[in-house]
Structure 1
Amino acid sequence: MAKNYVRENVPLSRFGVLVAQLESIVASATQQSPDPILCFDLLSDLISAIDEEPKDSILLWQRKCEDALYSLLVIGARRPVRHLASIAMARIISKGDGISIYSRASSLQGFLSDGKRSEPQRVSGAAQCLGKLYQHFGRRITSGLPETAVIATKLFKFH
C-alpha cells in the first residue's frame, strides 16, 4: 500500500511544528472551541516563523498552513485571532507559491456567498481575511472585489 506522505524524510522546522499545532487546534475545534489566547500566541509565533523561514521550507508546508488558517477563520474565531490569521494567510501566500491567492480568494468568497447568515463570527472571519488579501495583493485579485463587497454588505445587513 502506497504512503501518501508528501513530507517523508523531511526534517521538521519550527514553522512545520507551528503548522502542525495549528492543525491540531483546528481539528479539535469540533469538540472544544479553540482557546483565543493559545491561538493568538500560536499565530504570533507563526507570523514570525514565516518571516524567518526560507522559501523552500514555506513551500513544503504552505497548503497545510493555508488550510488550517482558513478553517480557523471559518469556525468563528474572535477578532484578534481573525486579524492575525488574516495576516498569516497573506504572508504565507506572499512568501510561498503566489498562485494560491486565486484559489484562497475564491474559496473565501464562495464561503461568503453560501450565506452562513446565522453565524456572524464566521462571516466576519472570511470577510476580514478576504479584505486582507485584497489589500495585500491589490490588482492581482481585485476583479472579484465588487462582488465580494455586495455579498459582504448583504450579510452584514442581515446581522
Structure 2
Amino acid sequence: MVAIPQTHKAVATPAKRAPLILLDRETKPLRPGEVLILNEWTASCPLDLHRADGGLLCNHPEVMGGDGAAGTFVDVGPDQSPEDTERLKPGDKMGLYRNEFFKEKMQREIVPTLLEQGIIKPNKQKVVEGATMLERAQKAIDLLRKRDPSGERLVWRVSDLDLKL
C-alpha cells in the first residue's frame, strides 16, 4: 500500500491568461463509497481553455480539470462492499469519469472519486488512452440513458475498452 501524503499538487489557473501554476491541496480522508486514485493522466476539455483564458466559472486560483482521468488505484474508503474490495487491488490501473465537475477537479496528483462514478479497468487500452476515451464514452452513454428510460442496461463497447456497464 502506498503512503498517502497529507497534501498533493494540483494544476491551477491563478488569473485570466496567466501561466498555469501548481498548488498544494489537502488530501482529505476518504468517505464511504470513495476510492483514491494516484493520477497519471488527465484529459483537458474545451471548458479548461475557457477557464484559463477567460476566467469562465472561476474563482482564482482555480484548480483545473475535466471529467476524466486515469492512474493507479491506491486505497478504498471505509464501509466498502466486499465485492468492491475484491475487484479492486492496490496497483490496479484504471480510468475514471466524474460528473460532479465542480466538486473535485481531475488535474491533481491524488483524486478521490465515488466508486459508482465510472471507474473502469482498461483491458487493451493504455491508461493514457483510457483517460480521454472514457469521458467521451460516458457522455454518450448518459445521453443514451436519457433517450431510453426503460431502466434496461445499455451495453456498449468502445474500442475494446470494457466499461463494465
> Which structure has more strand as a fraction of its residues?
2
Q: Which has the higher helix share?
A: 1
Q: TM-score, normalization: structure 2?
A: 0.25
